[in-house]
Amino acid sequence: MEYYFSKKVRFDYKEAIERVTEELKKEGFGVITSINMKETLKKKLAIDFRNYMILGACNPHFAYEALEEDDKVGIFLPCNVIVQEHDDGDVEVLIANPEEMVRSIDNLELKTFATKVKESLLQVLNGV
């Protein structure tokens, strides 16, 4: 099983970020953090890097349910979504696989829950 799901999109980088954000909202997620790796690497290391945005997506209902089941699971929150532009101009959206994140946890309820979150995030990816 892959630790992420990905899809190349036909939109430019900025529009892809907007579309991902819209699709996340449809599934009850909000973007609570965003890390612009291009800007960060330029500022901190003087490195020119491609367009690469990490969005921290959170669905409060899912987060609460997971934390009620296991208060340590917050280590995996928020769900990371990446929008990156490759050197050839292709734009790709990647979403972390929640099932893989909880694989090492010995809690069947949490693993079942991760499947539900995965299905919601796949809806996001399919909608982009």
Please report whether residue 66 resides in a domain. Answer: yes
- The tens digit of pLDDT for each residue in 82-91 reads 999 999 999 9
pLDDT at 33: 97
Residue 111 CA to residue 93 CA, distance in Å, equals 24
Tell me, what CATH number does 29's domain have?
3.30.310.70
Helix (H) / strand (E) element for 123: namely helix 108-127
The yes-or-no verdict on residue 1 having pLDDT over 80 is no
Strand order across the beta sheet in which 4-9 lies: 4-9, 91-96, 79-85, 52-58, 30-36
- The tens digit of pLDDT for each residue in 57-85 reads 999 999 999 999 999 999 999 999 999 99
CB 100 within 8 A of CB 3: yes
Q: Which domain holds residue 22?
A: 4-123
Tokens of 74: 């917050």
* Total count of domains within the chain: 1
pLDDT at 59: 97
